């Protein structure tokens, strides 16, 4: 791989040569369009719901979004493992193994998302109660989730296919998968919510249809255009799962940290009423759209670093980290400026009043700057996984979600809803800065080893000798360069 659309022949891995900054820009740019499309679905839903003028309904979408955030984080963590292992196998020239792993990954994603998605339906009421939802707001949130939780497998399949396409460098088609799904939502939402008068139920139906389209287009790109899937081998499923879990396990734990922190913040803000919850919900959905380039970086950096790591080009791994951080700083600066200048338009667009308007203005004017540090954490997570230290990603994300969120948000709650968001921003910035420092030091240490440990060029056309299940798992789970102790991966949004 990459696999040509016409012949299925193996080509030279795309990211092991050429300008790294260009690779970062192309992958992050196209990835951001697709990622923004995913998060735009929620933002579009909230926009149309806000036009109904009912704070309880807007707050219900906010509470439902926290539950959905847990689901999405699980899928993101699994796709990190998928992209990491497949990309690294591509970089090493093992096309047949990559195809088999891609097939196993879709089977595992489907199984996990069915259990988690449908299983959540039994715990909706207590979960919403813990978050602070009460009365009509809780009832509406539960009704919305009762429809959407069962379609998590569709979301998981779509995200997994998008990750597979990124792993071979087809950023354009990966972008198209999510872009078309968002377009479907944008068209259906006003028709169902207003045209048929379904309100919140219409938004739920629109989300289901969007996920169906996401999965269908993703599978078409993977199966038809690139023929990335090999025959499903049940005897290899356990070994493939072990290889994927070596990255996906820590990545899932890492990504679940963010919704845990978000859940605490939502609970802290709930005491200030539906208007404050609605304002926080707007910020939560606005952030990934405004900072789409930043969110996309972790997914974009992963395949770039993974292919170069698989090819033994350690200095390019360090340069890729540096260029990604520079790209992140420029992206945040531009997004912050746009938010600051356009905050009035946003407040009016979402019919925000009172506390909701105050919180949105605070975010656009000042709190958006915290993404300089959050973006650094996204890039650092991808670097940790590719340098063989996936548990560092877990440590920093959970540190941010607990020590960097709970005490700071609790302190801020004594100063109102705005204080909660300020405390959260301060705490997360501390952990983001620490993560960047550690990632840069690890990358520099690895780069110094290249002259004395020159890895052989990947063999692209040699046949793959059959291996046992245990041997194949070891080959995937253990990096070929002896200096590295773990598999390559990216961390963050898909």
- DSSP states of 395-412: HHHHHHHTTTTHHHHHHH
Read off the tokens for 236. 């290899």
pLDDT for 254:
76
Query: Residue 468 has what DSSP assignment?
Result: -
Read off the tokens for 143. 């009704």
Measured CA to CA in angstroms, residue 317 lies from 53, 323, 439, 446 at distances of 50, 10, 11, 9
51-96 per-position pLDDT tens digit: 887 888 888 888 998 898 889 888 988 888 888 888 888 777 787 8
pLDDT for 302:
73
Read off the tokens for 263. 């859940």
3-state helix, strand, coil in the chain (%, to 5): 80, 0, 20
2-25 per-position pLDDT tens digit: 444 334 444 456 777 778 888 888
pLDDT for 3:
45
145-164 per-position pLDDT tens digit: 999 999 999 999 999 998 89
Read off the tokens for 462. 């040699």
| Strand, helix or coil for residue 28 | helix
Question: What contacts 63, CB < 8 A, 6 or more positions away?
Answer: 128, 131, 132, 133, 137, 138, 141, 266, 277
Domains of the chain, by residue range, sit at 20-453+473-477
Do residues 31 and 292 lie in contact, with contact meaning Cβ atoms separated by under 8 Å?
no
Q: Any idea what the Cα angle at residue 108 is, between residues 164 and 69, rounded to 5°?
A: 80
Banded model confidence at residue 283, pLDDT cuts 50, 70, 90: very high
pLDDT for 458:
43
Task: Say if residue 1's pLDDT is above 70.
Answer: no
**Residue, of 4 and 249, whose pLDDT is higher:** 249
Lowest mean pLDDT among 102-106, 224-228, 462-466, 470-474: 470-474
pLDDT for 483:
29
pLDDT for 12:
58
How far is Cα 191 from Cα 199, in angstroms, rounded to an integer?
Answer: 10
**Residue, of 405 and 51, whose pLDDT is higher:** 405
pLDDT for 384:
86
| Strand, helix or coil for residue 311 | coil
440-460 per-position pLDDT tens digit: 998 888 788 765 544 444 443
Name the nearest CA neighbour of 476 among 48, 137, 33, 100.
Answer: 100
pLDDT for 253:
80
The enclosing H or E element of 59 equals helix 55-91
Do residues 203 and 49 lie in contact, with contact meaning Cβ atoms separated by under 8 Å?
yes
Read off the tokens for 472. 């194949």
pLDDT for 464:
37
What mean pLDDT do residues 272-291 have? 90
């Amino acid at each position: 791989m990459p696999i040509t659309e016409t012949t299925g022949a193996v080509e030279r891995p795309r990211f092991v040569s050429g300008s790294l900054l260009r690779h970062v820009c192309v992958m992050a740019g196209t990835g951001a369009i697709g990622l923004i499309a995913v998060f735009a679905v929620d933002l579009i839903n909230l926009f149309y719901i806000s036009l109904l003028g009912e704070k309880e309904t807007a707050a219900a979408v906010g509470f439902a979004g926290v539950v959905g955030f847990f689901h999405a984080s699980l899928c993101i963590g699994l796709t990190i493992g998928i992209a990491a292992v497949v990309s690294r196998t591509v970089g090493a020239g093992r096309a047949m193994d990559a195809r088999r792993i891609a097939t196993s990954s879709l089977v595992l994603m489907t199984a996990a998302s069915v259990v988690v998605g449908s299983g959540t339906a039994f715990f909706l009421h207590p979960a919403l109660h813990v978050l602070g939802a009460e009365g009509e707001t809780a009832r509406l949130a539960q009704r919305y989730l009762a429809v959407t939780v069962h379609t998590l497998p569709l979301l998981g399949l779509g995200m997994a296919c998008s990750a597979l396409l990124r792993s071979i460098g087809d950023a354009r088609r990966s972008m198209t998968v999510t872009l078309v799904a968002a377009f479907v939502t944008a068209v259906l939402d006003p028709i169902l919510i207003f045209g048929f008068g379904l309100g919140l139920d219409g938004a739920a139906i629109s989300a289901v249809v969007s996920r169906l389209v996401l999965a269908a287009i993703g599978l078409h790109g993977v199966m038809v255009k690139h023929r990335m899937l090999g025959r499903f081998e049940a005897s290899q499923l356990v070994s493939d799962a072990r290889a994927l879990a070596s990255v996906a396990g820590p990545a899932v734990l890492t990504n679940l940290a963010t919704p845990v922190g978000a859940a605490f913040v939502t609970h802290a803000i709930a005491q200030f009423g539906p208007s404050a919850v609605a304002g926080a919900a707007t910020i939560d959905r606005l952030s990934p759209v405004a900072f789409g380039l930043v969110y996309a970086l972790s997914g974009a950096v992963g395949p770039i670093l993974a292919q170069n790591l698989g090819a033994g080009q350690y200095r390019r791994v360090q340069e890729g980290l540096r260029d990604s951080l520079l790209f992140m700083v420029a992206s945040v600066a531009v997004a912050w400026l746009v938010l600051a200048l356009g905050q009035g338009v946003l407040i009016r667009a979402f019919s925000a009043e009172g506390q909701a308007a105050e919180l949105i203005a605070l975010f656009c004017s000042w709190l958006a700057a915290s993404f300089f540090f959050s973006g650094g954490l996204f890039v650092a997570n991808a670097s940790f996984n590719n340098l063989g230290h996936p548990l560092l990603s877990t440590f920093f994300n959970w540190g941010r979600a607990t020590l960097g969120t709970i005490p700071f948000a609790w302190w801020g709650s004594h100063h109102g809803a705005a204080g909660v968001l300020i405390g959260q921003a301060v705490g997360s910035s501390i952990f983001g800065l620490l993560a960047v420092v550690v990632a840069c030091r690890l990358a520099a240490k690895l780069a110094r080893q290249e002259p004395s440990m020159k890895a052989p060029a990947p063999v692209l056309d040699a046949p793959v000798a059959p291996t046992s299940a245990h041997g194949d798992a070891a080959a995937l789970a253990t990096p070929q360069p002896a200096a590295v102790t773990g598999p390559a991966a990216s961390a963050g949004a898909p």
